[in-house]
Amino acid sequence: MTGSFQSIKGLVQNGPAVPPRPADNEHPQPSLDDEIAGLFARRATNSSNSSADSSGSFPGSEGHSSRDGLRSSGQRPTLQGGEYSEADALELLNAHFMVGESKQETAIFRINNDGTISFVPADEFKLATQNIFVKKGTKLVPAEKFWRESRERHERVLVFEPGGTAEPHEYNLWRGFGVEPRKGWQKQRRFLRHLFKVICRRDKQKFRYLMCLLAWFVQNPDKHAEVVLVLKSREQGTGKSTVGKVMLDIFGQHGILVDDKDRLLGRFNDWLETACFVLAEEILFAGDHKADDKMKSIVTGDVLQVEGKFRSCRQVQNRTKFIATTNHTHAVAAGARERRKVVYDVSNEHVGDSAWFDALYRDLADGGTSEFLWLIQNLQLGTWHPRLIIKTDETAEQQRMSGDSVSQWSQYCINADAIAGSDQRPHLDLGALTSFPDLLDAYTGFCKKTGQRAVGTEAFGKACAGMFGPRSRMPVSPGSNKRPYGYHVPTASNWQQEVDKRLGL
């Protein structure tokens, strides 16, 4: 991506000059403000807001003769009970149902009014058609039996090709974006300021990564990002969810809000099959290791194992992209050399500022979301990928909080500027030779207070050697002939460097 962020800083802080409103007889092409022309590319691209059935007609209307004009006009007969001829029954049922076939299952689906489809269990299909009968000579045949056995029943091969098209015999589960892109600037500028000032705390590096990430999301709806952006704040009402809600509007039917971890990590998760963007609100907690492991699998895996009620368990390609929000201080378990999570600590600058948020949401509803979609669709990324994560201070903080018990005890001592943890002995100064028994006592005391499992004496000794260097004999204490081993504990700043090395920071 080309361009500098020097101009955007002034833009988001002060705002651009508002161009005069054009006269009614003028129709100028909307454009981005000159101050960010060097940042955002203007190459024209085609909108991906298309689908295999973009004509507005119902799936199943293609390739069948029309007896009453309903098929060709995009309308369909009402599903109601009665006696029908074979042709009319076939037309009726093909307009409302289809047999969908994938590599792993064949099932009946209902065709909804908006052209989407939903799985129909066998008993529901029987109930829906139980009052419909087909005239076959002098006999009346149940519509369910007639349609199931008909060679002309509506059948499609199910595919999910975001941004792509389907062959006539296929049904593309991708239904396009939820809004139409629109070139312009006036209605999205408040949102861009919110991203820069609140979400990124005026950090240009964070803003660059965020914009590239959101652009990658919409330019690659058929891929999974392999990382999760975590937006955290200690207060509610900061506006951290605003980013995710705009992306939910953009992804439409393929954007999912999840505020219950069992929905995301539980057994029945077939909605993930057509999910391209997920906003996970308050489902992450660093202490839930089982959930964290399952989340890692969803974020990074090339395939997902999904299962629906009354449906088979099957594997599908992973296309999910995640933004997570939380108010937890220790939000995520971030391991050494973390490469899956990028954490932003959101500013509370506009908490309770109704004027800020009212104007922001008004502009988004009045076309700002469409303008933002056009902007990130046309942002030139080159070979950029979300895996090119940035190391934020917040991510490092989560890594320190997620470290093993030795690392967490070390951080506790660094923050206290003393050897601390034991309630039985006074704190000892840093930057001095400290006996191993005193270090061990402080460490085990810390683990008892925090409910952590302490490592064994030998493992703790190796950890001390790794952080402090070789052990040394302590001077002889008054009234004792014992000379225990000890370690030269560094000052807080130097110890912090050793802990960060231990965590891969």
**DSSP characters for 275-324?**
-SEEEEES---TT-HHHHHHHHHHHH-SEEEE--TTS--EEEE----EEE
d(CA 247, CA 372): 10
Contact (Cβ atoms closer than 8 angstroms) between residue 4 and residue 38: yes
Cα–Cα dist 222/217, whole Å:
9
So what's the pLDDT on residue 43?
A: 33
Q: Mean of the pLDDT values across residues 322-346?
A: 72
In this prediction, residues 286-313 reach a mean pLDDT of: 68
Inter-CA distances, 220 with 14, 251, 377, 386, 413, Å: 33, 12, 10, 11, 46
Interior CA angle at 460 toward 493 and 476, to 5°? Answer: 80
User: pLDDT at position 37, please?
Assistant: 40
Q: What's the pLDDT at 2?
A: 39
**Res 33 pLDDT > 90:** no
Lowest-confidence pick of 193-207, 220-234, 276-290, 433-447: 276-290
Between 25 and 325, residue with greater pLDDT: 325
Instruction: Give per-residue pLDDT as tens, 344-382.
Output: 989 999 998 999 999 999 999 999 999 999 999 999 999
- pLDDT, one tens digit per residue, over 374-415 is 999 999 999 999 988 787 766 667 666 677 788 889 888 998
Q: What is the pLDDT of residue 337?
A: 53
pTM above 0.95, yes or no: no
Query: What is the pLDDT confidence band of residue 42, given thresholds at 50, 70 and 90?
Result: very low
Burial (CB count <10 Å: 0-12, 13-18, 19+), residue 403: buried
| 276, two tokens | 């391209």
Bigger pLDDT: 115 or 71? 115
- For 313-342, what is the mean pLDDT? 73
Looking at the DSSP assignment, which residues form a beta bridge with residue 215?
Answer: none
pLDDT band at 418 (very low <50, low <70, confident <90, very high): very high
Q: State residue 334's pLDDT score.
A: 53
* pLDDT over 80 (residue 264): no
- All CATH 1.10.10 domain ranges in the chain, comma separated: 403-503
Q: 342: which 2 tokens?
A: 């990028």
Segment 54-64 shows an average pLDDT of 42
Superfamily of domain 6-17+30-49+179-397 in the CATH hierarchy: P-loop containing nucleotide triphosphate hydrolases (3.40.50.300)
Query: In a 3-state reduction of DSSP, which class is residue 438?
Result: helix
Q: What is the pLDDT of residue 288?
A: 55
Neighbour tally for 419: CB within 10 Å: 23
Say whether pLDDT at 30 is over 80: no
CA atoms within 13 A on the CB side of 40: 26
On the CB side of 465, CA atoms within 13 Å amount to 10
**pLDDT: which is higher, 267 or 278:** 278
pLDDT at 338: 52
Residue 503: pLDDT band (50, 70, 90) is confident
Tallying the residues shown for the chain, one arrives at 505
- Decide if pLDDT at 280 tops 70: yes
For residue 402, is it left (φ>0), alpha (ψ between -120 and 50) or beta? alpha
Q: Give 403-503's CATH code, choosing from 2.20.28, 1.10.357, 1.20.120, 1.10.10.
A: 1.10.10
Section 418-422 average pLDDT: 89
Cross-strand pairs, 141: 134
Apex CA 275: angle with CA 274 and CA 281, to 5°?
155
**DSSP-assigned states of every residue in 158-175:** EE--TT----TTEEE---
**Of the ranges 1-10, 195-204, 449-458, the best mean pLDDT one:** 195-204
pLDDT at 390: 80
Confidence class for position 25, pLDDT limits 50, 70, 90: very low
Task: Express as a percent the part of the chain with pLDDT over 70.
Answer: 76
Could you give the CA distance from residue 276 to residue 268 in angstroms, rounded to a whole number? 18
For residue 313, the model assigns a pLDDT of 72
Q: How much is the CA Rg of the chain, to the nearest whole Å? A: 30
Please name the residue ranges forming H helices in 451-504: 457-468, 492-503
Mention every residue, 6+ apart, whose C-beta is less than 8 A from residue 364: 187, 188, 191, 246, 249, 372
Mean pLDDT of the chain: 79
- The enclosing H or E element of 140 equals strand 139-142
d(CA 175, CA 117): 11
Structure token pair of residue 324: 């997570």
Q: Write down the residue that tokens 């990130």 correspond to.
A: 376
- pLDDT-based confidence at 291, cuts 50/70/90? low
SS3 256: strand
Residue 92 to residues 125, 127, 147: CA-CA distances in angstroms?
14, 16, 10
Q: What percent of the chain has pLDDT over 90?
A: 42
Task: Give the Cα separation of 498 and 503 in Å (integer).
Answer: 9
At 73-119, the pLDDT tens digits run 357 889 999 999 999 999 999 999 999 988 778 899 999 988 888 88
Q: Where in the chain is the domain with CATH 3.40.50.300?
A: 6-17+30-49+179-397
